[in-house]
Amino acid sequence: MSFTAFVDGPFWYFSATVFLIGVLWRLVGMLSMGSKPDFSTPRKSGTAAAIGINLTRFFPRADFWSRIRLQVVAGYLFHLGLFALLFFAAPHIEFYREYITGFGWTALPEWAFILVSEIAFLGLMLLILHRMLNPVTRAISDRGDYIGSLLIFLVMLTGCLALARSHEVLRVTHFFLAELLLIYFPFSALMHTFTFPFSRGFMGAHYGRRGVNV
Amino acid sequence: MAIDMNVFRGFAEQIKMLPQMARPTDCPDNERVNHLKAVFSTKIDASNATQLESCVHCGLCAEACQFYIQTEDPELTPIHKLDLLKRYYRREKAPLRWLHRLIEPDITEADLEATQHLVYESCTECGRCGLVCPMGIDIAAMVHVTREGLAHAGLIPAGLRAVEQEQGSRGTVFGVGPDQLRQAAEELRAKGHEVPIDKAKADVLVLTSTIDVLLFKDALEATVKVMNHLGLDWTIHSCAFEGANFGLLSGYSEVQKSASERITSQAIALGAKMVIVPECGHAYPALRWAGANAHGAPLPFEVMALSEFLGREVMAGRLQLNPIGTGKHVTYHDPCKIGRHGGVFDEPRAVLEALGVDMREMPSNRTANFCCGGGAGLFVMEKAEPMRNAAFDLKRQQVEATGADSVVTACGSCRINLMAGAGRTQWTTPIESLVELVGANLK
């Protein structure tokens, strides 16, 4: 079996399986720990607050803006750019149609693809530089943070290089790295993609019961 | 409303002596880690798990922390304070614990000692860091879990341990028990106030605190005046008057529960419909939010912070106040445990509005308010002094930015820390009690 066939076939199924089972394993493992009952009389609904914080927490409080704007802007550039690339890049839509959904949807025009790629790259680079240069993030970051950042950077880089699809080796390299990222994902802090609604929800409910909008 | 500064200085001296009064812990050195793990094991739940798993090490929490803002020391980054809990979680509870055990070392006694300073003397559990976290990680709650673990491992700082031990063994705080309460009541009676102590039945059980009995006597007097002015069927009970809960502050849950249950059982015996917590920040969540869980069932009475009660009475029109005058410019310091952790924001402001003062909010106010620096027991921890000072300096900047003539608050610990800072820096802005302002201006 050629490397291309391996990447397009068995390794794809293997990485997708590790990703799905790993994510589910961790989520179910965390949530099955349950919570003790809270007998205090709530001031307001915790459930409403859990939902509310999941929306409001996308927008940082004005109180903190002057101290956190770089991280917030960089974070938004990266995450929005990555989201657009993941779900609206023509080659990805074609991939989803062929391997997962069976149907496709409207893709970004090529100029928009290039634009969002640059936006995502800019955001990612700023975040990596901030992690390396800021005394706080440098002190609290671990190997996993750098491995995740590096993998995402390489996946995005090879993805952009493979855009023209004129070189099969670039496409296969991009796909292979994306598969490595899928395997790494459930073992890493990239899991925040799925855990943040729960994390926010628990906090929102805790404070919401007390009538505090956090 | 003058405070006897000799008493204040004496109180400060007494706090300095606390470490010498602490008894040795009964936890053997070689059992510390096991005791900590036993506590962590019972405390980790889905909430902690999803929050510990969500951190991306963005460091934003540091930008909300008064101690980091003032010192720029990365060691004080709030999420870093959870490293011990996180390591326990990863190795013992996480779905991937089998993997983490291969790559992360086990917890050692040295790790516990290294964490003690971070969660006790460098964190007031104010919760401001939780406001900025994009993942919604409630760091303060998990700092408290870490305190609970360390407390059961015998690693409560000596000053705080001395008071916790006193409250746990004798039921008193700073030596204030039923006799001292009765003496304070006699002093108030001599001034012409009716002070019902130990009534068999009452609608309202009023708590006070050692700080009010010893130091802020005017706050206690004002509380008595308000209760009588409103014509309530109320009492203070000599067996259950102390609102402060050093079990909660230290993380020693057995003392927290016994202190809380003492009040709850007395309130039930009285047939009380309401328990009013004094101007003591942590006393409010200790009973209002944690009391029912210590009791194991919903409390059959309402729990109100004094500032909350005053505001409610004002808003309902039952409590009318003489306006002080619009020439008085004040700012209000929200005690973290009553505001951000308790949801009491509008009520004290309603009181100030009724007093007719010119209210000026600090740049960071209400939910985003900065802690005074003395919360969560820091005011009795000797080694926390640099942190308290740093927080005070920031709070002073916040107050001065308003141009207010005085700062009003509704927490005795906040007052102590602000007064200590004012004394250190020769800051002349008055630090006033909300209930004292009310007591002096009853219509």
Q: Which pLDDT tens digit goes with each residue over B69-94?
A: 999 999 999 999 999 999 999 999 99
Out of B56, B62, B77, closest to residue A192 by CB: B56
DSSP secondary structure of B137-203: --HHHHHHHHHHHHHHTT-S-HHHHHHHHHHHHTS-BTTB-HHHHHHHHHHHHHTT----BS-SS-S
Out of B44, B132, B343, closest to residue A60 by CB: B132
How far is the C-alpha of A13 from the C-alpha of A117, rounded, in Å?
Answer: 27
Section B330-342 average pLDDT? 97
Residue A85 near residue A156, CB atoms below 8 Å: yes
CA distance B363 to chain A (A): 8
Interface of A with B in 77-116 (CB under 8 A): none
| Residue A154 in contact with partner chain B when CB distance is under 8 A | no
How many CB pairs below 8 A link A and B? 176
| Residue A140 in contact with partner chain B when CB distance is under 8 A | yes
Section B116-129 average pLDDT? 97
Is B53 close to A192, i.e. CB distance below 8 A? yes
Residue A174 near residue A117, CB atoms below 8 Å: no
Residue type, A99: Y
Reported pTM: 0.95
Residue A204 near residue B136, CB atoms below 8 Å: yes
Interface of A with B in 24-43 (CB under 8 A): 25-26, 28-36, 38-41, 43
pLDDT at residue B326 above 80? Answer: no
Give me the pLDDT at residue B2, please. Answer: 59
Interface of B with A in 173-202 (CB under 8 A): none
Give the phi and the psi of residue B170 in degrees, each rounded to 5: -110, -15
**For chain B, what is the mean pLDDT?**
95
Domains of chain A: 3-36+65-195 (1.20.950.20)
Residue B140 near residue B126, CB atoms below 8 Å: yes
pLDDT at residue B260 above 90? Answer: yes
Section A101-127 average pLDDT? 95
All residues at 6 or more sequence positions from B412 whose CB lies less than 8 Å from its CB, including other chains? B209, B211, B212, B215, B216, B219, B278, B279, B280, B433
Out of A53, A61, A131, closest to residue B132 by CB: A61
Residue B35 near residue A177, CB atoms below 8 Å: no
* Cβ count within 10 A of residue B148: 22
Out of A44, A67, A139, closest to residue B74 by CB: A139
Give the phi and the psi of residue B333 in degrees, each rounded to 5: -95, 115
pLDDT band, very low/low/confident/very high, at B6 (cuts 50, 70, 90): confident
pLDDT at residue A89 above 90? Answer: yes
- Reported as type and span, the H/E element at residue B431 is strand B431-433
pLDDT band, very low/low/confident/very high, at A162 (cuts 50, 70, 90): confident
Give me the pLDDT at residue B243, please. Answer: 96
Q: Which pLDDT tens digit goes with each residue over B129-188?
A: 999 999 999 999 999 999 999 999 999 999 999 999 999 999 999 999 999 999 999 999
CA distance A66 to chain B (A): 10
Q: Which pLDDT tens digit goes with each residue over B181-240?
A: 999 999 999 999 999 999 999 999 999 999 999 999 999 999 999 999 999 999 999 999
ipTM rounded to 2 decimals = 0.95
All residues at 6 or more sequence positions from A62 whose CB lies less than 8 Å from its CB, including other chains? none
Section A62-66 average pLDDT? 95
Residue A191 near residue A23, CB atoms below 8 Å: yes
Residues of B in contact with A63 (CB under 8 A): 131, 364, 368
Least confident among A27-41, A152-166, A175-189, B419-433: A152-166
pLDDT at residue B265 above 60? Answer: yes
Residues of B in contact with A134 (CB under 8 A): 59
pLDDT band, very low/low/confident/very high, at A165 (cuts 50, 70, 90): low
DSSP secondary structure of A144-173: HHHHHHHHHHHHHHHHHHTTT---HHHHHH
pLDDT at residue A164 above 70? Answer: no
Residue B366 near residue B396, CB atoms below 8 Å: no
The CA-based diameter of chain B, rounded to the nearest angstrom, is 71
Section B104-133 average pLDDT? 97
Out of B95, B342, B368, closest to residue A63 by CB: B368
